[in-house]
Amino acid sequence: MFTDNTPEQIDEAMQQAWNAFTFYRKYSFAQRANFMRTIANELENCGDELYIIANAETNLPEARLRNEKARTIFQLNSYADACERGNWLDAKIDTANNERTPPKPDLRKTLTPLGPVVVFGASNFPFAYSTAGGDTASAFAAGCPVIVKAHPAHEKTSTFIADLIFAAAEKCNMPKGIFTHIYGKEFNVGKELVMHPCTKAVGFTGSYKGGKQLFDWANQRNEPIPIFAEMGSTNPVFLLPEKLQHDAEAAAKIIAGAVTLGVGQFCTKPGIIVGIDSEGLIKFTNTLSIELKNSNAAFMFA
């Protein structure tokens, strides 16, 4: 249904984002915060159609989607509050002292926005780590336009939420190019986005392989840029002897719940379990095996 954006379209989008940056970086914290709160309001009032679309694309149940939507709204409002406080600027004033030898100069330091930020949507969090998620909210708070590449697994969902952001941008009189929505199933789309000279940072949540590739591209540029990546991992869990001796079955049930949470598709699930060979470890493994066999089947992400 959705066609990958061409290099020419990506270049045009990035140029518009840079033009928007020259204006948006000067917007007051109150203006930025109002924009993010307006996005949150659009998301809160969008109705149940979003759940229907997201469920059809991801197989995530409505209860999970409702919770994640609430989390996304919370993130937008929280970043808006933090933006207004301004303490994140880390502003410092080191006044001059001409009586020192040599004289001490007057130094003023603060954090400043980098420029357009490319955000790659996550497969397993279609709301909270995708189109209007934390990376997008933090970039807007910092004074940076955002270019979102929709995840191919839920492009309709991403488009629906992108339209909400466009509506909020119009209501808040944001500059053209403050937000852009890009499609791309092929790797070259991601490469075009990361390598474009107007891109100044990238946000990514996904696999190690995908994140490492973005990192490599970012460092191959004439001007390397930061990649803010949360990548998949194999998470180790260490079973201490005393726990196995006194509470092996309870530990196994907790681990089973963690492994099967979200049909085993959460990045935080245990991947390697380490324990000292003992009767407690045998009891643990037997209980874990039974718990996993008895877990309920469910649809995985589409």
> In the prediction, which pLDDT does 266 show?
79
> In the prediction, which pLDDT does 17 show?
98
In tens, the pLDDT along 91-133 reads 888 998 888 889 889 998 888 999 999 999 998 899 999 999 9
In tens, the pLDDT along 167-191 reads 999 999 999 999 999 999 999 999 9
Read off the pLDDT band of 262 (50, 70, 90). confident
> In the prediction, which pLDDT does 233 show?
80
Question: β-strand 117-120 against 107-109: which pairing, if any?
Answer: unpaired
- Between 17 and 59, the more confident residue is 17
> In the prediction, which pLDDT does 277 show?
95
Widest CA span in the chain: 78
> In the prediction, which pLDDT does 261 show?
85
Least confident of 35-44, 102-111, 140-149: 102-111
Q: Is the pLDDT of residue 234 over 90?
A: no
Question: Angle at Cα 57 formed by Cα 151 and Cα 133, nearest 5°?
Answer: 45
Q: pTM of the predicted model, to two decimals?
A: 0.87
Q: Is the pLDDT of residue 302 over 60?
A: no
Domains, the chain, ordered by start: 7-85+112-231 (3.40.605.10), 235-293 (no CATH)
φ and ψ at residue 206, rounded to 5 degrees: 170, -150
Q: Is the pLDDT of residue 301 over 70?
A: no
Output DSSP code: residue 28.
-
The catalytic site residues sit at 230, 267
In tens, the pLDDT along 44-101 reads 999 999 999 999 999 999 999 999 999 999 999 999 999 999 989 888 889 988 888 8
List C-alpha distances in Å: 125 to 56, 60, 122, 173, 202: 14, 10, 6, 29, 17
* Chain mean pLDDT for the chain: 94
Indicate the residue type of 174: M
List C-alpha distances in Å: 144 to 135, 177, 201, 251, 298: 11, 11, 10, 45, 40
